[in-house]
């Protein structure tokens, strides 16, 4: 099966994938990791003027690194697609 990393859009969080997408992918036997970008979702407390696209790219790279993920399917919704 596949490993998915899903990235939410602006003003969202990892929670935005949890109602429909994550359960369906997992029910099909896939592994799913939902990232929350710095300054958004449950990480709004980390917002500051220096948070930008590069910060969010690093957030996703950190998920890949710390979870030791390789050959993933990366899915981004709206702004998450740009990241």
Cβ–Cβ < 8 Å for 13, 43 = yes
Active site residue: 28, 78, 81, 82, which one? 78
- 78 as an active site residue: the answer is yes
* Cα torsion 36, 41, 47, 50: sign: positive
Catalytic residues, by residue number, are: 78
């Amino acid at each position: 099966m596949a490993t998915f990393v899903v990235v939410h859009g602006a003003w969202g969080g990892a929670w935005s994938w949890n109602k429909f997408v994550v359960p369906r992918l997992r029910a099909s036997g896939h592994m799913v990791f939902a990232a929350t970008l710095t300054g958004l979702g449950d990480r709004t407390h980390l917002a500051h003027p220096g948070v930008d696209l590069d910060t969010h790219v690093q957030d996703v790279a950190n998920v890949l690194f710390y979870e030791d993920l390789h050959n993933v399917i990366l899915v981004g919704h709206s702004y998450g697609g740009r990241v």
